Structure 1
Amino acid sequence: MTRVTAVLGDITTQDVDAIVNAANNRMRGGGGVDGAIHRAGGPSILADCVARFPDGLATGDAGWTTGGSLAARWVIHTVGPVYPGERDLLVSCYSRALAVADSLGAATVAFPLISAGVYGWPLDDAVLAAVTTLRTATTSVAEARIVAFSPATLEVVEATLASSG
C-alpha cells in the first residue's frame, strides 16, 4: 500500500525519484508549477518534452521526461482539466502518473495539487481526488508525497489525510 504524505514546500526541491508536473496540453512549459519545474530543471526538460510529445499530451494523460538539473531523476507530466470539467479526468491524472512512475521504477513521487491553481478546481475537491486516488491505486510506488505551496493548503491536505485514513 502506498504511503501518502504531505509537506509544505517547493516541489522542485523534493528529494524523490520523480516529481509530477501539472502541465498544459502543449507540453512546452508554462506558468505556475509547470514554469517553476522548467526553470529549476533547465532546458533539457523542454528539449525532452519537444522530442517525446511533438503533438502535446491529452487532458488526463501522463508521460515522463528527464529531471534535468532537479534532484528528482524524472518529471512525470500530466495535464489536468480546467474547472468546471470532468472530475474523472482529474482522477486520471493521478492514476496515469502512478502508472508512469511504475513503468520507470520510481518508488517515491512528489505531487502538486493538479488543477487546483490557475485551472480553478475547488481546493477541497482537488485534495479529496488526490488523496483518494493515491491511497486506493494499485501501484509499486512506496510514497506519494503531496507538496503544498502554502500553510493553508497543507492544513486542508493534512485534515483530508486524517479523516480519510
Structure 2
Amino acid sequence: MTTITLIQGDITRQRADAIVNAANSSLLGGGGVDGAIHRRGGPAILRECRALRASRYGKGLPTGRAVATTAGELDARWVIHTVGPVYSDAEDRSDLLASCYRESLRVADGLGARTVAFPAISTGVFRWPMADAARIAVHTVRETETAVEEVSFVLFDERAYEAFAAQVG
C-alpha cells in the first residue's frame, strides 16, 4: 500500500525519485510549477522535452497523459510531466485530472521510482477548485495499483495543504 504524506512547501526543493510537473502541453516550460521546475532543474530538462516534441509529441503532450525526463539539477532522478485539464463548469473533466495521477504513477512504475512528489495539478492557472482537486488526487492515488511506496503531495500554501489534509484524514 502506498503511503501518502503532505508537505507544505516548494516542490522544486523536494527529494524524491520522481517529481511530477504540472506541465503545459508544449512541454517547453511555462508559469507556476512548470516554470519553477524548468528554472531550478536547468537546461537538461528542456533539452529532453524538446527531443520529445521532435519525436513522439510533435503536437504536444495530450491532457491526462504523462512522460518522463531527467530531473536535471533537481534533487530527484526524473521529472514526470503531466498535462492537467482546464476546469470547466460546463463539462466534467474530472476523469482527465484523475488520469494525470494514474498515468504519472504508471510512468513512475516503468522507471522503478519508489517515491513520487506531486503538486496540486490544475489548481493554479487552470482554476480547478482546490477541494475537488484534492478529492480526485487522493482518491486516485489510493485506488491506483502501483509499486510506488510513498506519494508526497507538495502543496504551495496553507489553503491547499488544508484541502488535501481533509481528504487524507
Band the TM-score falls in, shorter-chain normalisation: over 0.9
Unaligned runs of 5+ in 2: none
Return the letter of the residue paired with 1:48.
Answer: E
Bigger shift: 92-101 or 81-90?
81-90
User: Match for residue 25 of structure 2?
Assistant: 25
Q: What is the DSSP-based 3-state SS (H/G/I as helix, E as strand, rest coil) of the residue aligned with 2:147?
A: coil
Deviation at 1:36, TM superposition (A): 0.2
User: What TM-score do the two structures reach when normalised by structure 2?
Assistant: 0.94
Deviation, 1:130, is 0.5
Name 1:151's counterpart in structure 2: 158
Q: Distance in 2 between matches of 1:83 and 1:151?
A: 21
Whether 2:96 is the aligned partner of 1:98: answer no
The CA RMSD measured in Å over matched residues stands at: 0.8
For 1:81 and 1:26, how far apart are their aligned partners in 2?
14
- The aligned counterpart of 1:12 is 12
Deviation at 1:67, TM superposition (A): 0.2
Structure 1 counterpart SS, 2:35: helix
> Does residue 83 in structure 1 map to residue 87 in structure 2?
yes
> 1:74 corresponds to which letter in structure 2?
W
Q: How many correspondences in the alignment?
A: 162
The alpha carbon displacement at 1:160 in A equals 1.2
- TM-superposed CA distance for 1:53, in Å, is 2.9
Query: 2: distance between equivalents of 1:118 and 1:137?
Result: 26
After TM superposition, the runs of 4+ consecutive aligned structure 1 residues lying more than 3 A away are none
| Long gaps (5+) in structure 1 | none
* Match status 1:111 vs 2:118: yes
Q: TM-score, normalised by structure 1?
A: 0.96
In structure 1, what is the equivalent of residue 73 of structure 2? 69
Q: What are the Cα deviations for residues 8-38 of structure 1, in whole angstroms up to 9, with x where unaligned?
A: 1110111110000000111110000000000
Aligned amino acid, residue 78 of structure 1: T
- State the AA in 2 paired with 1:18: A
> What fraction of aligned residue pairs are identical, expressed as a percent?
57
CA distance in 1, matches of 2:15, 2:33: 16
Partner of 2:141: 134
- Structure-1 separation of matches of 2:32 and 2:119: 11
CA offsets per residue over residues 89-123 of structure 1, 9 Å max, x none? Answer: 00000000000000000000000011011000011
CA distance in 2, matches of 1:53, 1:89: 21
